[in-house]
Structure 1
Amino acid sequence: MDSQPDLSFESREKMTKNVKGLMLSRIIILTLLLTITFIFQVSKEQYFFIPMINHFYSFLGVFYLVTILYAIRIRRVKDFRRFAFVQIIIDHFFITGLIYFTGGKESFFPITYIFSIIGSSIIFYKRGAFFSASLSTLLYGFLLLLQFYQWINPLGQRAVYDASKIFYSLVLYMAAFYIVAFLSSTISEELKKKRKELIQKQVDYDQLETYNRNIVQSLDSGLLTIDLSGKINFMNRTAERILKRTNDQLQNISILDLFPEIEGIMQEAKKRDPTSSGDYQRYQTLLTNYNGKEIYLGFSVSPLTDPSGVLIGHTLIFQDITKFKEMEEQMKRFDKMAAIGLLAAGMAHEIRNPLASLSGSIQMLGSELQLDENQKQLMEIALRETERLNSLITDFLLFAHPPQTNRRSCDLQIIMDETLELLAHSPVFGDHIRIRRQGSHEPIRALLDPDQLKQVFWNLLMNAAQAMLDGGEISIALEKRNGTRPEKRTLFSTSDFTGKEWVKISISDSGSGIPQKEREKIFEPFYTTKETGTGLGLSIVHKIVENHNGSIRVESEVGKGSTFSLFLPAE
């Protein structure tokens, strides 16, 4: 009998369970036998097949004790197959002793060998079952042989037996033993085969489940499933990252609480036939996530069915398309600004020439004619408005056709200091506005056009001052970083700073802030919220920064102020 563990299919846990089951079955059989014997003896005042009742009780008690020793020993056992094999052999000798005490050939207990045969087939399958049947036949035959020759007398008195009856009894029980061994081992082998198949199917199922779960979790798109009532029951890691919520936080939450604008889409999805593929439809919605940030989501809705094809819910696959929406708006802005620029350039040239003639003619008339005070005042107004119109046209041309960029190595700190010196004498700046420089004043050099960058600083600082009519603080910060990416994606940017040196210039004010809807339009030409503004200041800033291969980001909160951040390549 092979006592080595079958590592493929017989685990230690399973063999331990089988051994414990063997001991439990033994206890049950012993208890049942003892109970029946005692009840029969008390009720009928007779012995139940057992004339030597005192010896029988002692015999059962000894085997109870042996089973208890098995239970104590089991924790120290390393080879459970060998442990079970030893128990089965001892069980055969116990049954043989039981037959001896109950009359030998006259005993009804040779049938109990069957329990050991079945136990052997469960633990050791076919080989164990036929081994047990052979051992049972051998022991029972040996007992009959001793009784036939009267070497033993189970009932305490000599008896003469017919050899044919002895042989008939042995053959009858032997046939029963082997038939039981064959049937029980066949069933055990079949169960073993089915168990192997079940284990393999379970392994395949677990692998497939893990594979599918990894696919779902590794998707670059958010995925969530809902039941027919719209309750969320699952979402992957990407969905958690996009929505800034965990699966547990959104478990059993209605999809309409998360996306209130898609109620109509979900009603339409419920009416579709879940078995038909239909046309692929893509939707968009605006979501305010857990952090209060608005993001655009592109999503699709698909039916979720059970194996029989019955609709049990829906699957939503979505992506954060906020960046794509920003790029789309940026491209629209570029196209619009290009078209307006061409129009502005043509109109500016056509208007500027007659405007110069008009201004010169008014000046000549003013010098040659004798004018009273009212006439002089009207002529001054005409000249002043002519100059304002000429300044507007100059801004037009600067926006539409910026002058050629003459880049050279410059210190941004010096350019900022010169701009602030000029602004200090501007009527917009006064004691009610404080300017605070952050960071160190170490030189920060970059390749740029100093005049154009001074124009950028001037426009941004003027806007900051005009946003604080009641006073406030302007904060200015310049810093240089090496080989890292800006901490957030910049707005209106086509530049990639990864692996490059770049500088960041931040100009913040404590003014009224810019609403979200206005923030999306502030770089458009002619868009202004000021009564006297031309709407070209920030457009020119954007154009100059773009020509320097830089980018600009706007952060603003109504009532708290705004921050304009410039990102430019370093030297």
Structure 2
Amino acid sequence: MLTSVMDRVSQTLLVDRLAIFVEDAQAPGRMRLARSMGVRVNEPLDLSFLEPARPEITRGALFFESPRAARDVSPSVHDALQQLDLNYYVPCRIRERSVAVLGLGKTVDGDFLSSDDVELVETIAGYVAVALDNSQLYNSLEQKALEIVRLKDFSENIVESLHVGVLAVDLSGSVESWNTRMEQLFGVSRQEAVGAQLDSLLPAELASEIAARGDGEQITGIYKQRLQHQGRSLTLNVSITPLVSKSGDRIGRLLLFDDVTQREHMEEQMSQTEKLTSLGLLAAGVAHEVNTPLAVISNYIQMLAKQMPENDPRHSIIEKIVKQTFRASEIVNNLLNFSRTGAAEIANVDVNHVVEET
């Protein structure tokens, strides 16, 4: 755009030396050389004489009859004027603010610009200011739009990364958002879900439970809702939260679906393990109590056997009693060993011997 402006001004006014200075984004309030025609610059320029706050710039065009003979300027500014070799510096103003400066030299014939030419340049400078301001606004809007898109994508990535189903419905019950986890839980794609009524997408019993919570303004939930869906058994925790706008107006509801099926199975297994642990402790107590009378029976029967004659036929009965008490004691000891949390002992077992003793 700046090149096109310089070409049009050069052709209209027959000027072969032009330059456009714009505000430096890295140093607000200072100008930098943006475009030039017929101007040769060999070193950095001190453009402090073009600062928008200078009275000469705020009053109108800045004129140097002879840039090389400029007075009341610093040496660095004098060098810049000599390198630029421009006679007119016309500010491009909009809303009482200079956004650029249009610099021009003499005509190709070496003449100064007429008053009509200067007025034309000032008019063109106004259009340039509007164009630059619009360009800056456009760039700003473009950056904000890109930032909004980035934030939107970031927010969607967060929702998609959650391991819980997330959906949003408006006040009429129409689905506005449906994440990937919801697709996995209920087998309904996002394209099918968005815009549909919520009760048409969920199992009937779950939809009725959600509807029973109404449209209250308090956070409510459904704990361990068990249902059969597409041949699967699911246990879900559902959280229902009012969806509000920035102004605080309620615009719908936000629902979170947490699949706790596996967690529930693990809790059941842990409960069963605790029951087995309690049973083991009970068995240990019972075994300890049974062991004492068994030891007494074994001792007394052995004492009785010693008091009987060797040829007494009751010895065989006593031997069976002793053998069975030892066997009962061994069973009790096995119960005690089973209830202890120790390492298992692996040993060879004669199966025939076990069968004969049983």
TM bucket, shorter chain? 0.3 to 0.5
TM-score (norm 2): 0.48
- Greater share of strand: 2
TM-score (norm 1): 0.32
- Greater share of helix: 1
Higher relative contact order (CA 8 A, sep 6+): 2
